[in-house]
Amino acid sequence: MTDRLAFADFTPGRVFELGTVRVDRDEMLAFARRFDPQPFHLDEAVAADSIFGRLAASGWFTAGLWMRAYVDGVLVRADGLGSPGGDEISWPAPVFAGDQLRASMEVRAARRSRSRSELGLVTLRGTLHRADELVFAATFTGMFRASS
């Protein structure tokens, strides 16, 4: 997995498997305390009575877990230039402490910027699955250096 990835390698339909991440309970709680202190992210008793049934991860923590897998699996071997954003962020099912989540990234589209041809724009969809269940998805544009 150390081969470099050029812009031309981001072909529509290509799927990158990014490995499995485990949801650490202490880190999940620390994240929620700082960034998303809603009771069902922090309090066992409240969470048990909530629609989640038990302590659920902040969706932004889940997003961070996916991002790290994407950096380690793809960006570390590409010339990424950041992201202006995207048009999907989805948390279709709650994430719990101890979950094992499988991370993937699929290329949806790729083109060069019209105004800056050395800039590659890759539309990608990142996902996390717990077994066959989708628990996170985000579709956004990744910018990459596109050599001529």
Sole window of 3-11, 12-20, 52-60, 98-106 interacting with a second copy (rule: CB under 8 A): 52-60
**Nearest alpha carbon to residue 8 among 125, 142, 83, 110:** 110
Residues 6+ apart with CB under 8 A from 1: 73, 77
> Of the ranges 2-10, 57-65, 95-103, 104-112, which one interacts with a second copy (CB under 8 A)?
57-65
Tell me the residue ranges of DSSP E strands in the chain. Answer: 15-22, 85-90, 100-112, 119-130, 133-145
115 is an interface residue for a second copy by CB under 8 A = no
Q: What is the DSSP letter of 131?
A: T
**Judged by CB under 8 A, does residue 54 bind a second copy?**
no
Binding to a second copy by residue 135, rule CB under 8 A? no
Q: Which residues bind a second copy (CB under 8 A)?
A: 31, 34-38, 40, 50-52, 56, 58-60, 63-65, 67-68, 71, 75, 80-92, 94, 137-138, 140
